[in-house]
Amino acid sequence: MKKVLIADDDAVTLKKLADGLERSGYVTLSARSGKECLDIVERDDPDLILLDVVMPEMDGLEVLEQLRTSSDVPVVVMSAFGNGDKVEQARKLGIECFLNKPFDTEVLVELLDVILI
């Protein structure tokens, strides 16, 4: 079973995404901050990270920048504030794709199924 780390500071979003992914056969890990995300990556070696841009301590792009110094784990960035600059910065740091919130969990599952074949 593939492990997906969901990094988002919103508890409702975390639960909704975790429930949908687990129903589809994924194991999920959750982080509520950028620092916690990096700690979990180091400890649990997820197969993919679903990373929100706006988080406390470090935003998602700072997490991604630090993550890329030591890992090439696939990352899907998500945000309700998907302006062009942030999308372009995330792409330069090597993401699989950028999702604008809100999005359908079924669409996310289909996307992850393709990325994690």
Length of the chain equals 117
Q: Is the pLDDT of residue 81 over 80?
A: no
Domains, the chain: 3-115 (3.40.50.2300)
For 106, which DSSP code? H
Q: What is the pLDDT of residues 4-20, one digit of tens each?
A: 999 999 999 999 999 99
Assess contact for 4 and 24: CB atoms under 8 A: no
Full DSSP string of 53-93: SS-SSS-HHHHHHHHTTT----EEEEES---HHHHHHHHHT
The pTM (predicted TM-score) of the whole model is: 0.94
Assess contact for 55 and 77: CB atoms under 8 A: no
